[in-house]
């Protein structure tokens, strides 16, 4: 479904990503792991268009999306969440998700229909799915950190994506919240049949959930394979234990 081939990106003279490869098959739950600064977030920003690659290809459903602006990539069916909660702080939780649903339904330029009556059901379903229904009327900026991160995911789901890209969905969460979020991700992948790509720096979290794992180190893909394969890879252990 998604294929990243030899992608490169440098900032001034710092090479953030220099040769990353990634394959995501439809329906898979794929994780990208690597130590801090390995280039995971940069890779995600390249996939969803916030950054433009210097070199390399990103193929989504047989189409090169590496040159498209973020909003068009989103319309192709890739939604994402951000590591630092990237929500609409002055709007209500309901509105946060509704805006996303409206965008997906191509209704965001409608001028003279009250928004209250549009996309209500879809929005409520998503809020229920992620467990934020009871906070629908709260202002998003006033939510607790964990809830904001959940809202992040809910906003992404509003786009009815085929592929969801989650950038460290558990960043800064307590162990309980982390478990709940991972459970949510597993459920989304299972019951809703979503393809999910996420990254994490905590290895333990990943090995329990992911079907396929890609390991990054200093901007380079070291390996991609099933959990066992990755666990037993000599090079991965070298990177994590000895440093390359």
Partner 1 sequence: MSKGIFSLKSFGPIAALLIALVILPSIIPRFYIYILAVIFVTALLAMSLNMVVGHGGLFQFHHGAFYGVGAYTVALMLTKTSLPVWVGFVAAPFVAAFVGLLIGLFCVRLTRLYFGMLQISLGSLIWAIAFRWYSFTGGDDGIHGIPLPSLISSTTGAYYFGLILLIISLIVMFLIFKSPFGATLQAIRDNPERCEAIGINVRRHQLIAIVIATFFAGIAGVLFVVVEGSVFPDLLFWVFSLEIFVMCLLGGWFTFAGPILGAAIMISLRTFAGIYTEYWTMILGIMLILLIFFLPEGVWGYLVEKFGFQRKKSLEKERQ
156 binds partner 1 (CB under 8 A): yes
Q: Which stretch binds partner 1 (CB under 8 A): 63-71, 123-131, 191-199, 236-244?
A: 63-71
How far apart, in whole angstroms, are the C-alpha atoms of residue 210 and residue 189? 10
CB of 55 to partner 1, least distance (A): 23
> Any residues with CB less than 8 A from the CB of 60 and at least 6 apart, and which?
1, 2, 3, 73, 76, 77, 78, 163
Q: How many residues bind partner 1 (CB under 8 A)?
A: 43
169-171-177-182 Cα dihedral, nearest 10 degrees: 30
115 binds partner 1 (CB under 8 A): yes
CA torsion sign, 4 to 209 to 171 to 71?
positive
45-67 burial, b at 16+ Cβ within 10 Å, e below that, comes to bbbbbebebeebebebeeeebbe
The vertex-218 CA angle with 41 and 163, nearest 5°, equals 30
How far apart, in whole angstroms, are the C-alpha atoms of residue 94 and residue 77? 22
Closer residue to partner 1, CB minimum distance, 106 or 242: 106
Closer residue to partner 1, CB minimum distance, 114 or 243: 114
How far apart, in whole angstroms, are the C-alpha atoms of residue 220 and residue 6? 9
Q: Which of 104, 123, 150, 170 binds partner 1 (CB under 8 A)?
A: 104
100 binds partner 1 (CB under 8 A): yes
118 binds partner 1 (CB under 8 A): yes
Q: Which of 14, 63, 112, 242 binds partner 1 (CB under 8 A)?
A: 112
CB of 158 to partner 1, least distance (A): 7
67 binds partner 1 (CB under 8 A): no
Contact residues: partner 1, CB under 8 A: 48-50, 69-72, 74-75, 79-80, 82, 86-91, 95-96, 98-100, 102-104, 107-118, 137, 155-156, 158-159
């Amino acid at each position: 479904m998604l294929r990243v081939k030899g992608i490169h990106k440098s900032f001034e003279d710092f090479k953030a990503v220099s040769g990353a490869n990634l394959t995501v098959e439809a329906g898979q739950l794929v994780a990208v792991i690597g130590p801090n600064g390995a280039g995971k977030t940069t890779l995600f920003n390249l996939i969803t268009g916030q950054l433009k690659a210097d070199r390399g290809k990103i193929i989504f459903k047989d189409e090169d999306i590496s040159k498209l602006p973020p909003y068009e990539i989103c319309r192709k069916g890739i939604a994402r969440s951000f590591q630092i909660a990237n929500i609409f702080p002055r709007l209500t939780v309901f509105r946060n998700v509704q805006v996303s649903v409206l965008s997906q339904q191509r209704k965001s330029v409608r001028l003279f229909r009250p928004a209250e009556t549009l996309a209500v059901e879809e929005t409520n379903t998503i809020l229920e799915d992620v467990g934020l229904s009871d906070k629908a009327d709260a202002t998003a900026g006033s939510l607790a950190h964990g809830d904001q991160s959940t809202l992040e995911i809910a906003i992404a789901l509003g786009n009815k994506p085929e592929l969801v890209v989650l950038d460290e969905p558990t960043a800064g969460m307590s162990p309980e919240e982390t478990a709940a979020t991972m459970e949510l991700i597993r459920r989304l992948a299972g019951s809703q049949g979503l393809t999910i790509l996420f990254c994490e720096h905590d290895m333990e979290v990943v090995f329990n959930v992911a079907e396929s794992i890609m390991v990054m180190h200093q901007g380079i893909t070291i390996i991609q394979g099933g959990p066992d394969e990755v666990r037993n890879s000599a090079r991965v252990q070298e990177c994590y234990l000895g440093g390359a």
